[in-house]
Amino acid sequence: MKPSSQPVISLGRLPCILHQIGSPPTLRPPKTLNSSSVILTERHPLQTNAAFIYRPLVNTGSLGNTRIISEEYIKWLTGYCKAYFYGLRVKLLEPVPVSATRCSFRVNENTQNLQIHAGDILKFLKKKKPEDAFCIVGITMIDLYPRDSWNFVFGQASLTDGVGIFSFARYGSDFYSMRYEGKVKKLKKTSSSDYSIFNNYYIPEITSVLLLRSCKTLTHEIGHIFGLRHCQWLACLMQGSNHLEEADRRPLNLCPICLRKLQCAVGFSIVERYKALVRWIDDESSGTPGATPEHSREGNGNLPKPVEAFKEWKEWIIKCLAVLQK
């Protein structure tokens, strides 16, 4: 028998396969919270491919010490969300300052950085969720904690309410280093309603690795809102993780089981979805999959999107497309 000439697509198996594979999908994405950026996805049964994006206002904190980069980073995540959940409408809402949420906050006694209460943010998002929205998700570069007894949490969501809040604070390369600039050097006793402590909140430099980690977390958690449980079969985006090293090991792609579940929920063409993801990686700066170069660079400062860390995944997608289109 001749060896196959088709591209080889690797689907790594997990070391241990358990019984539960997750529930069938049920229908149910950001702002930077010192400003937070809110992305919301919505699905209309007759117009699943309509797209609406609202640009955020300038954030009060600095992202990579440049306000323009703050806006670009949010647009990149918005575009990725549109491609990953291909066919859903995605709206980018205006930034929300921490003070508007009236959330509790604290300084972590171990890492000495500011944290905001995830549960309070969820309550705020629930009140702001539009009636026609499938889900609304806040993203922030400020660290989160779910309750006083916990050290931190990467994110928290309510699947029944269709809301979620996720932080990428710990994805910066310097967070666990001694030179981390986000530490509170001198903590003055302030009122629980005085949010001036968040003025000029430190935001790490946006690198390719930080963007990749952010894309993973955003799509993983929105996957949960769609009813996908933690995957226990193959190497998959929906695998659970307890720390950053584990999160880094899971791939960007969904395994065939979870991909089929998401396809059932959203109704996309797998081929068109893969093409949209490749376009997002190839587009140097746009947050809009499939946009023309002139449209994609309009008013964005022509900042290059740091996609070096996505190179291997792009090659994997191209192999999949070669098989699907043969």
Out of 94, 181, 221, 315, pick the active-site residue.
Answer: 221
Whether residue 94 lies in the annotated active site: no
Element holding 156 (H helix, E strand): strand 155-158
* Inter-residue contact 317 to 310 (CB < 8 Å): no
Q: What is the DSSP string of 35-91?
A: SEEEEEEE--TT-TT-----PPPPPSSEETTBHHHHHHHHHHHHHHHHHHTTT-EEE
Distance, in Å, from the CA atom of 38 to the CA atom of 295, rounded to the nearest integer, reads: 23
Contacts of residue 177, Cβ cutoff 8 Å, sequence gap at least 6: none
Total H helices, total E strands in the chain: 9, 10
Distance, in Å, from the CA atom of 201 to the CA atom of 156, rounded to the nearest integer, reads: 22
Pairing of strands 135-140, 163-167: parallel
Inter-CA distances, 203 with 165, 195, 215, 281, 322, Å: 17, 17, 17, 24, 40
Closest CA to 34 of 92, 160, 121: 121
166-175 b/e (C-beta count within 10 Å ≥ 16 → b): bbbbbbbeeb
Distance, in Å, from the CA atom of 248 to the CA atom of 291, rounded to the nearest integer, reads: 30
Task: Kindly list the catalytic residues.
Answer: 221
